[in-house]
Amino acid sequence: MVSKDDKANWSPPKPHLEVGSAPEGVNAKRVQGRRLTGPQQGFGQLWQKTYKVAISQKTPEQVIATWKAEYGRFWPSHSKFYAPVTGIQPGEVGLIKSTSGPVPLSTGVLVLYSDDVSFCYMTPEGHPFAGFITFSSHVEDPVGTMAQVQLLIRANDPAYEAGMMLFGSKAEDRMWEHTLRSLADYLGSSSPVDTKVVRVDQKRIWKNFNNLKYNGALPWARRSKGPATPPR
Amino acid sequence: MTVREPKGDVRIIDIAGELTSFSEPVLAEAYEDADRPGVKTVLLNFSDLDYMNSGGIGLLVTTLIRAQRKSQALGAFGLTDHYRQIFELTRLDEAIGIYDDEQSALKGS
């Protein structure tokens, strides 16, 4: 077998994330200087969530090229993804602003890996979950080309774990199902999204309890005295 | 993938070729083969690894959880500098012991 040189597909080493210039209205403070968190640096139970949809008449390469180029377009309206200026390239940081939960969220992701048929994000400290989100496309017999999102994640801290159990996990499912439906629709396909959720590890990692210190939602939650109202 | 028994409580899984999410059944079968009563350490030999993508990293995480469930240590050796960097970048090196070669992995296990 011939070795593939995949060095260019991976992010260079990133001890701490660096955000270049943030778009107006986006808070990059919760990403700038933060370390990455893999599943073993998170707190909550480990979940593998796989969402996939059939995309007819397209090759996996075409699906991924479109997905990368138009990534934010497929997100629900309550969340916005600010792609890196240079596009989805290994080592670049994308910023996220979301108002889907009870607390507005500003966070980001590192593009950990990218090739012609897949790309993968890794989350930083302070993100609701620790882990990887992999977007890929492949051919499945007899269906044909599939687009897939696979999450391998733990809630990053006890507060996010509670939020995930109460509403976050279902919201996560809705978000990625929406994303895949939008992608399929954009590419001229109308197949239903298939969702598979597996709890890989039911144990929580208590030594990571202190990840709470990176949770940007908590100071705001503590200041709030009345009904949840996002700060202006 | 092949499984070897260098000493009683250690098994080595030799990984050859590609490690991607499509390798899941093969790695799971190899791990099942390695997971015998009394085994305390499972070492992954990456010397013949040709290529690994982010799906492969995900597989290593799920393999790590399997090992932890059985109170087994998971180690790795034979990584190129490039893949060693990937282990560091993804912080897998904080949970999986990394060794230069088989000899030092066996000494450390």
Q: What is the average pLDDT across A65-69? A: 96
CB atoms within 10 A of CB A92: 18
Q: How confident is the model at residue A91 (pLDDT cuts 50, 70, 90)?
A: very high
The answer, yes or no, to whether residue A145 has pLDDT greater than 70, is yes
The answer to whether residue A158 is domain-embedded is yes
The answer to whether residue A2 is domain-embedded is no
* Substitution target from B18, B24, B90, B91 for chain A, most A beta carbons within 10 A: B90
Q: Which residue of chain A has the CA closest to B87?
A: A13
- Please name which of A158, A203, A164, A210 lies closest in space to residue B65, comparing C-alpha atoms: A203
For residue A114, give how far its alpha carbon lies from the nearest alpha carbon of chain B (Å): 9
Sheet holding B97-99, edge to edge: B2-7, B10-19, B41-52, B73-77, B97-99
Contacts of B92 in chain A (CB under 8 A): 38, 40
Q: Which residues of A194-217 are buried (b: 16+ CB within 10 A; e: fewer)?
A: eeeeeebbeebbeebeebeebbbb
**Which range among A4-13, A20-29, A37-46, A216-225 shows the weakest confidence by mean pLDDT?**
A216-225
The answer to whether residue A98 is domain-embedded is yes
CA end-to-end distance (rounded Å), chain B: 21
Domain count, chain A: 1
pLDDT in tens, A14-64: 989 999 878 877 778 889 999 999 999 999 999 999 999 999 899 999 999
The answer to whether residue A78 is domain-embedded is yes
Q: How confident is the model at residue A123 (pLDDT cuts 50, 70, 90)?
A: very high
What is the model's pLDDT at position A231? 38
Domain interval for residue A170: 25-203
The answer, yes or no, to whether residue A106 has pLDDT greater than 90, is no
Q: What is the average pLDDT across A196-208? A: 97
The answer, yes or no, to whether residue A5 has pLDDT greater than 80, is no
- For the entire predicted model, the pTM comes to 0.91
| Cβ contact B109:B99 at 8 Å | no
Verify whether the Cβ–Cβ distance A38 to B90 is below 8 Å. yes
Q: Give the homologous superfamily in CATH for domain B2-108.
A: STAS domain (3.30.750.24)
- B47 and chain A in contact, CB less than 8 A: no
Distance CA B2, CA B37 (A): 18
pLDDT in tens, B29-80: 999 999 999 999 999 999 999 999 999 999 999 999 999 999 999 999 999 9
- Please name which of A148, A142, A124, A158 lies closest in space to residue A45, comparing C-alpha atoms: A158
The answer to whether residue A83 is domain-embedded is yes
The answer to whether residue A219 is domain-embedded is no
For residue A48, give the CATH number of its domain: 3.30.530.20
The answer to whether residue A225 is domain-embedded is no
Strands B97-99 vs B73-77: parallel, antiparallel or unpaired:
parallel
Q: How confident is the model at residue A176 (pLDDT cuts 50, 70, 90)?
A: very high
- B85 and chain A in contact, CB less than 8 A: yes
